[in-house]
Chain A
């Protein structure tokens, strides 16, 4: 049954007691026995659509498990009442940066200064994605016309493309970041190996397009027609014609998923050969019992 809606009353000019209420809430929310050695994670929202955050939330109970055991969410304007970018082990940054918006530019720089690991979460932060097509001229900031992926303004450690990135991929990156910072030596090595290709994507650059399949796979003599790129494309811009990808470039939104997902972009045998044990490890970390 829908609750009876309160009739809105005129807001008082000042908000007495605001600060006090916040303090009270904190007392209630505090865990009785905080789990030791959690890492701190923040979600930084630049010019994004919040779809990346929804994707994180779409891990359902997996997200609670992460927040219970591995990570404190110390910053996320959508979910947490912390107003300013704090120190963080891992910053998950979604969205690109409007360079005509001073606050945005300051916030992304502040994020780099405060975070040990910066993750470009999703296609906009990684590659600009749909904001590549911005060119200003809309009310009421017609001069807001230039948007850059965060890697053009700060150094990025890990690039996780996708529009949105799959929930399971964000989960994996969170678990691996935890193991990297808090795991045993063996777990640290595994986490580093897992994250390496995503770190290499960050080094590779901030431009992406369906054309990458041409430049860096087909033109390089590497395409073998598996069709993975066609499956991953969120806008069905890729069809397989005589066993090779055909990109409809006017449909492409420049998200970079196709190249990143292609098994001939990066294929790290050291990690992928161990798919069975790594899947079990992540399952166990998520509290899904083995057999």
Chain B
């Protein structure tokens, strides 16, 4: 269950060279939204667009392929995509909303659909939710410190950042590569990530990430009926090159291992919160547990 419910898992990448030129991995997110936009499955998607500072994402409602392309690539800092979920159905006038997000944002989305407390009309207007895998995220100032101080690269000269194989890597516009061990980045992690019990966006319609497949490819889980429908149509239309996940290295085994590691570690953090402090009788005094 650490990988959630899914109907199928594949290795895939977009067949569109233009999308792949600046996508983080196999361009799954951008390609699937572009296809859904073309086919009228969605009439817009909330993505992490360019923000006010270098590498700072800003949630935007993309209604054109150009806007989707501008949002490609991973920004290892918070992009509060859910902040636009209601507005997308208001001033933007969308009836079929797409959204990409980390596992926690998919959780916010599904909660908003089942318990739409201040979310009038949102539940019925979600057409395609794409989740990305996520081990942890960083506050902007944390990312800045990692890139500028530890990797000694100016934020504005970085062209790609990547976490994999135990390292945080920054690629520069002049072809340089600067890497630090992931261990050095732990103290900059967003604290709220340490109680997170989802690695592969279990609640998305389709979820995707880099782990499990070779560079330039993505691991894809097709989860819901909605996701299954859209994915099948996109593959039929020739949007994706796919391989059975069993035929690629390192495959689901590594995904399962990392998911288990994340959940086990964070479950311990959640449990430790139950006796974080001390009561008058010497027993533990708890911090709040959102899952109870």
Contact = CB atoms under 8 A, between A and B. Distances in A.
A223 to B, nearest CB: 5
B114 interface: yes
Contact of B83 (A165, A230, A255, A267): A230
A228 B46 CA distance: 13
A169 interface: yes
A160 B117 contact: yes
A275 B120 contact: no
A275 B114 contact: yes
B123 A226 contact: no
Interface of A: 55, 58, 160-169, 172, 194, 197-198, 216, 220-228, 230-234, 240, 242-244, 255, 257-258, 260-269, 271-273, 275-276, 278-279, 291
B216 interface: no
Contacts of A264: 192, 195, 290
Nearest to A276: B224
Interface of B: 5, 59, 77-87, 101-102, 104-105, 107-108, 110-124, 137, 139-141, 190-197, 202-203, 224-225, 287-288, 290-291
Contacts of A266: 290
Contact of B86 (A216, A231, A276, A291): A231
Given A168-B120, A263-B108, A267-B290, 16 more contacts: A55-B120, A197-B115, A223-B192, A225-B78, A227-B59, A227-B84, A228-B112, A231-B119, A232-B86, A243-B78, A261-B111, A269-B197, A272-B107, A273-B202, A275-B113, A279-B113
A166 B108 CA distance: 16
Give the interface centre of A222, A227, A291 by most chain B CB atoms within 10 Å. Answer: A227
A40 to B, nearest CB: 25
A221 B277 CA distance: 14
A221 B117 contact: no
Contacts of A198: 115
B24 to A, nearest CB: 19
Contacts of A160: 117
Given A222-B288, A226-B105, A243-B139, A168 B116 contact: yes
Contacts of B117: 160-162, 165-166, 169, 232, 257, 260-261
A262 B83 CA distance: 11
Return the 7 tightest CB-CB contacts between A and B, nearest first: A227-B80, A243-B78, A227-B83, A257-B118, A232-B118, A224-B192, A225-B78
Contacts of B287: 220-221
A216 B290 CA distance: 10
Contacts of B191: 221
Contact of A226 (B104, B139, B290): B104
Contact of A225 (B124, B137, B225): B137
A133 to B, nearest CB: 19
B276 to A, nearest CB: 9
B87 A231 contact: yes
A163 B82 contact: no
A161 B119 CA distance: 11
B89 to A, nearest CB: 10
